[in-house]
Amino acid sequence: MLGFFRSPKKEVDTFDPAEAAARLAEMNPASAQILLQAGNEGAKSTDLGKTFFLRRGRQLYHDGQCFYITTPDALKAEEQPLLTGGKATVLLQFLHQQAPVKLECQVLGHFRLLPELVETLDFKVKAAFKLQPLGPLNREERRKHLRYVLKNHGDSRVSLTSYVQFDVFVQNTQRQFPKAGALPAELADLRPVPLAPATGKLPEARPAIEVFRALMQEKAPPDRLVTVAKVAKKDLRQIQSGTEEMLQLGPSTVLGLERDLQRNILYLKKSAKADLANKDNPYNLHPGERVVLYFPAHGGYWQVRCEVLETQIQNDVLRPLGPLMGEEGLKLELVDYSVGGLRVEGQAALLKGLLGPASPAEQKEGTPYEGPGWDRAFAALGRPMLHLNLYPRLRFPEELKQFQPELPFKIPFVAQVVQTHVRERAGKRLLQHGLRLVYELQAAALDPGELERWKLIRGARDNPHFAQISAKLNQLRGHLEYQASRRPPASGRP
């Protein structure tokens, strides 16, 4: 069976121990757990306990490529020669900003320190172990590796996530990821390229206000909701490119669909976040401001840009500025997700849209997905920059609303296919693709001629929406476990 396909190896930069030592000094840990790596393959490492880094002026002291640690507190007398021979390899583990960090080092020996150096240290030691990094620091974001499963394919051992789900749509773009080298910190010239015919396409061209009213009137009055996002100025004190952001005002009810039919206006109930008594409230709407209305209808997702004409005590009056726009991406079946990426079911339209004539063969039932041709095809899947739109679907009962994350109606990303896996299910061989989230939207293009700007996601903390989802779901899990522990035991009666 074909396993996860690995993309071509990238050029490896030369490792510099001085850079690793400097990075360690930036993190400035006070102590670490130290493990003595086994010399023989398959043997277990030895836990030497806790050790402290030598510090000067409350900062970790390092000398070029090397730094110093105290004698580990669990180091036995018979193990002392192992660390003094200059050939021992150890693994240091510590926490930095709640994330575990690992660093593999070589112990150069146990040395007496110069008296003038001892006098400058935060705590006085006459001798210390001298270490040199053997590789870069490995910082592991634990939330990144916690995956939330939406489809377990009948495996009862894998619990499903029902509180936060997504509808995922993908389009290709005109750009590709480089084969080697660092990614640019920002993108500003990305244009989506449809992979399939647009979903939810309007049958005829009509003014946006007419189509909007028709779609809303098909719904019951309580369901006539739209999600409002306001185009607001960013805090210019922050060092970021772009000057606008989408401020989420939340859901709002559409009113008065039967009145003023001759006028090109909409009535919306005022956002719950608005406060007319506070003029500095950023969620207040003012005449002349631009907003975007998002809503689902006819099995698809829609949006329309509007201008605020008038603000009343309970309602806001808006005028559509452009056509009603539907989601044009190819819908994907989501298997699971994490802070760093998604896993989706493969389909013929995705391969055909991304590979074109380079696709080895037309997919059909029983396709083996094996051989050099498929290997090259899966390698080519990692090059295109994919445009993703994620539409959250939240299912929190009223008693658990406190754990519901506040998410926008639509979350766009630029993603890359990093894995392709073939799995057996019910006697059939099916593809699954792993997508890594690479860029998040920094400034949206709302007017013709504008460029969207994208910002590189450098870590889990740079992906605020998924980091919030992970934090909220972890809190919910703790709450449910606590509630379960307080339930009285079953009586045992039938």
Give, for 469, the enclosing helix (H) or strand (E).
helix 464-486
| One domain for residues 42 and 187 | no
| One domain for residues 308 and 242 | yes
| One domain for residues 178 and 214 | no
Range of the domain at 386: 143-196+330-485
Domain membership of residue 10 (yes or no) is: no
| One domain for residues 477 and 345 | yes
Which of 117, 140, 163 is a domain's end point? 140
Which of 121, 140, 159 is a domain's end point? 140
Which of 307, 326, 345 is a domain's end point? 326
d(CA 440, CA 454): 6
Domain membership of residue 4 (yes or no) is: no
SS3 per-residue string spanning 54-96:
CEECCEECEECCEEEECCCCCCCHHHHHHHHCCCCEEEEEEEE
Q: Which CATH number belongs to the domain containing residue 248 in this structure?
A: 2.30.110
138, β-bridge pairs: 102
Q: Are 80 and 68 in contact (CB under 8 A)?
A: no
| One domain for residues 188 and 240 | no
| One domain for residues 367 and 219 | no
**pLDDT score at 203:** 47
d(CA 301, CA 254): 17
d(CA 260, CA 229): 24
Q: Are 349 and 330 in contact (CB under 8 A)?
A: yes
Q: Are 242 and 442 in contact (CB under 8 A)?
A: yes
Domain membership of residue 378 (yes or no) is: yes
- The number of domains in the chain is 3
In angstroms, what is the C-alpha Rg of the chain?
Answer: 28
**pLDDT score at 415:** 95
Domain membership of residue 295 (yes or no) is: yes
| One domain for residues 168 and 303 | no
Tokens in use for 163?
Answer: 């509180």
User: What DSSP character marks residue 430?
Assistant: E
| One domain for residues 415 and 360 | yes
Dihedral angle sign, alpha carbons of residues 52, 56, 58, 61: negative
The pair phi, psi for residue 256, each rounded to 5°, is 55, 40
Give residue 102's Cα distance to chain centre: 22
Domain membership of residue 273 (yes or no) is: yes
pTM of full prediction above 0.75: no
Query: Residue 68 is which amino acid?
Result: Y
| One domain for residues 225 and 305 | yes
CA trace torsion 237, 239, 245, 247 (10° rounding): -50
Domain membership of residue 8 (yes or no) is: no
| One domain for residues 47 and 93 | yes
**pLDDT score at 409:** 94
Domain membership of residue 234 (yes or no) is: yes
**pLDDT score at 40:** 67
Q: Are 130 and 111 in contact (CB under 8 A)?
A: yes
Q: Average pLDDT for consecutive 10-residue bins of the chain (494 residues)?
A: 43 78 90 85 80 91 92 84 83 78 91 90 90 87 69 71 93 91 87 71 68 89 92 50 70 85 86 88 90 90 92 91 88 90 90 82 66 85 94 93 93 93 76 92 74 83 84 86 74 46
Query: Residue 379 is which amino acid?
Result: A
Q: Are 127 and 110 in contact (CB under 8 A)?
A: yes
| One domain for residues 480 and 456 | yes
**pLDDT score at 303:** 92
Domain membership of residue 248 (yes or no) is: yes
| One domain for residues 337 and 388 | yes
